[in-house]
């Protein structure tokens, strides 16, 4: 799937976050659904799916019920428009999820909920999310984000699971909301596109050893990122079956 990352384990208190409150979250007793959308700005059928994802979180599905991720893929760039948010690692992940679902086709827009493909996403997403929310959680995730200084975040996560599996892994995703693109070529030429929950940075997999994993990483925000629109997601996934057994998120923690 994706390459293993070198993880630097640090204390949360190595650098003080003067003048900034920490942003933290802990997963609950029931399972939170992870809603992944594989999308592209070069895909004319993707904007309705992008708008669907932007509706999360809402009154029906707050962050403790459904955690949204938009993963932009680059394989449509060749038809005329290069998606500025696309990464090859997201296409690799989508291919892997297609294989674990025993499907043959990779396409956009493509929704997965907790690792399972949802074909009729316009009608099926709410029911799929509710079924997952009804399941007791099999992992606990604690997520913390500190602003060390302007443009530098410290992201930490601790997870544990009582499941007897050697195939569980922790992932982190850094997301950004309210992104706008004016597309000048390709299938969406002349369209202004709006995106939320766009994955900007992907960290993992970090294997759970004896049912536990911890990671902390300092992340420098890129010049074109908007600090008060940044969120962080943590998830635990079975790397054999693709099932996401728990997810947690913090959203829009800090002012720029």
**For tokens 């999820």, what's the residue?**
97
- Give the helix ranges, DSSP H, for 73-224: 88-100, 121-133
pLDDT by 10s per residue, the chain, length 256: 433 333 333 222 222 223 344 699 999 999 999 999 999 999 999 999 999 999 999 999 999 999 999 999 999 999 999 999 999 999 999 999 999 999 999 999 999 999 999 999 999 999 999 999 999 999 999 999 998 888 899 999 999 999 988 999 999 999 999 999 999 999 999 999 999 999 999 999 999 999 999 999 999 999 989 888 999 999 999 999 999 999 999 987 776 5
pLDDT score recorded for residue 44: 97
pLDDT score at 249: 97
Q: Strand 198-207 vs strand 212-220: parallel, antiparallel, or unpaired?
A: unpaired
Q: Which residues pair with 39 in a beta bridge?
A: 72
Please answer whether residues 32 and 134 qualify as being in contact, where contact means their C-beta atoms are separated by less than 8 angstroms: no
Q: What is the pLDDT of residue 165?
A: 87
Q: What one-character-per-residue DSSP string does 192-227 give? A: EEEE-SEEEEEEEEEE-BTTEEEEEEEEEPPTT--G
pLDDT for the residue 255: 65
Query: How high is the pLDDT of residue 256?
Result: 55
Helix axes 47-54, 121-133, angle to 10 degrees: 30
What is the model's pTM?
Answer: 0.90
Sign of CA dihedral 79, 42, 200, 209: negative
Nearest residue to 246 (alpha-carbon basis) of 171, 181, 185: 171
Burial of 19 (0-12, 13-18, 19+ CB in 10 A): exposed
Rounded CA gap, 157 and 70, in Å? 21
């Amino acid at each position: 799937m994706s390459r293993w990352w070198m993880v630097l384990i640090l204390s949360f208190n190595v650098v003080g976050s003067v003048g900034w409150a920490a942003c933290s979250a802990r997963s609950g007793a029931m399972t939170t659904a992870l809603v992944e959308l594989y999308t592209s700005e070069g895909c004319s059928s993707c904007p309705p799916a992008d708008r669907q994802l932007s509706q999360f979180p809402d009154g029906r599905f707050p962050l403790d019920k459904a955690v949204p991720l938009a993963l932009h893929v680059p394989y449509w760039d060749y038809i005329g428009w290069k998606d500025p948010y696309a990464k090859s690692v997201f296409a690799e992940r989508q291919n892997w999820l297609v294989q674990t679902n025993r499907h043959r086709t990779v396409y956009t827009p493509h929704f997965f909920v907790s690792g399972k493909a949802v074909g009729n996403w316009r009608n099926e997403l709410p029911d799929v999310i509710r079924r997952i929310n009804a399941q007791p959680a099999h992992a606990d995730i604690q997520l913390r984000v500190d602003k060390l200084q302007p443009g530098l975040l410290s992201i930490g996560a601790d997870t544990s699971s009582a499941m007897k599996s050697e195939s569980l892994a922790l992932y982190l995703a850094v997301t950004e909301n309210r992104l706008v693109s004016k597309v000048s070529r390709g299938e969406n030429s002349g369209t202004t596109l709006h995106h939320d929950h766009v994955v900007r940075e992907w960290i993992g997999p970090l294997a759970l050893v004896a049912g536990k994993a911890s990671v902390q990483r300092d992340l420098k925000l890129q010049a074109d990122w908007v600090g008060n629109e940044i969120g962080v997601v943590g998830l635990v996934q079975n790397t054999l079956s693709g099932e996401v057994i728990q997810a947690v998120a913090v959203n829009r923690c800090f002012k720029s």
